[in-house]
Structure 1
Amino acid sequence: MRRLLSALAVTSCLLAGFPAMTWGQTLPGLTLFSGVKNENQLPFRLDFGGQTNSWDRYILRIPEKKMKLAVAQFAITYPNYYKGTFDPKKVEVRVKGKKVPLSEVKWNKESRVLEIFPQEPVPAGNKVEVVLSNVKNPAFGGTYYFNCQILSPGDVPLLRYLGTWIISVS
């Protein structure tokens, strides 16, 4: 009976630890003193843990409630102290889980912006995921603010702020 109880205790501790490990690199949860209002924080996931100096896949999500307008261009800006690299050939946009054809992806290193142009405007009111594969994380850890801006079709050519992904690399 004693062995059974100790095995049960160890098993329950292991099982209780799994959710904490698997959710470790998703939406930042409770973020104190970020300077970004809670309603402007966007959810994300780092598929390979966000480890320094390693390869990763960033899945940057935009909830339906944020997609009030159709989108002809996504612009993702990041801070000057982020020293990671992106592969413009490995960028995807998914709407409701389906890949959207892209006409062009431009990475302007000097301006620190990743511009994504879908072939057809992404319709309003849909959940969107921007998938950045083959990302080389920076050599040094830190917290990085990735801002999402959009351009609507036929709109005045000014980008509109949608929100911020607060990404930690450790």
Structure 2
Amino acid sequence: MRRLLSTLAVTSCLLTGFPVISWAQSLPGFTLFSGIKSENQLPFRLDFGGQTNSTDRYILRIPEQKMKLAVAQFAITYPDYYKGNFDPKKIEVRVKGKKVPLSEVKWDKEGKLINIYPQEPVPAGNKVELVLSNVRNPAFGGVYYFNCQILSPGDVPLLRYLGTWILSIS
């Protein structure tokens, strides 16, 4: 009877630990002293936990209420102390869960900038996900601010700030 109770206790502890692990890197939780207003913080998910020096997939979300304009270009900037690597061939844009054809993705390693150009402008008022697959996380953990800027079709060629994803790599 003791063995059964011990086994049940260990099993229940393991099973209750799994949801905590899977929630660890999804959406920004309560952030203290980030310097970014809460209305400018964008949701995200790190599919493989955001572990240092490992491969990951970043799903950077833009809520529909932030998408007030059509978008001809997405620009993601990140800090110079972020030492990860991106695979431009494995970057995609999803609107309502469907993949959008891209004309080009440019990663400017020195400028710390990823430019994503859809073939057709992404319509306003849609939930958008920028999916960065095959990302190599930095060797050292930290908190990294990824900023999202957009360019609307026919607009003056100046990028507009949309929000910031606050990623934590540990």
TM range (shorter): over 0.9
Which residues of 2 match residues 17-166 of structure 1 at below 5 A?
A: 17-166=17-166
SS of the aligned residue for 1:32 comes to coil
Q: 2: CA distance between counterparts of 1:96 and 1:136?
A: 26
Q: Which amino acid aligns with 2:86?
A: F
Q: 1: CA distance between counterparts of 2:135 and 2:12?
A: 36
Q: 2: CA distance between counterparts of 1:87 and 1:100?
A: 17
> How much has 1:9 moved relative to structure 2?
4.5
- Structure 2 segments unaligned to the other structure (5+ residues): none
TM-score (norm 2): 0.94
Q: 2: CA distance between counterparts of 1:36 and 1:110?
A: 25
> How much has 1:35 moved relative to structure 2?
0.5
- Structure 1 segments unaligned to the other structure (5+ residues): none
Worse-superposed segment, 115-124 or 27-36: 27-36
SS of the aligned residue for 1:85 comes to coil
CA offsets per residue over residues 48-68 of structure 1, 9 Å max, x none? Answer: 111111111111011111111
What CA RMSD, in Å, does the superposition of the two structures yield over aligned residues?
1.4
Give the aligned length.
170
Q: 2: CA distance between counterparts of 1:151 and 1:40?
A: 17
Q: 2: CA distance between counterparts of 1:77 and 1:38?
A: 19
SS of the aligned residue for 2:49 comes to coil
> How much has 1:126 moved relative to structure 2?
0.6
> How much has 1:17 moved relative to structure 2?
2.2
Give the share of equivalent positions with the same residue, in percent: 84
SS of the aligned residue for 2:39 comes to helix
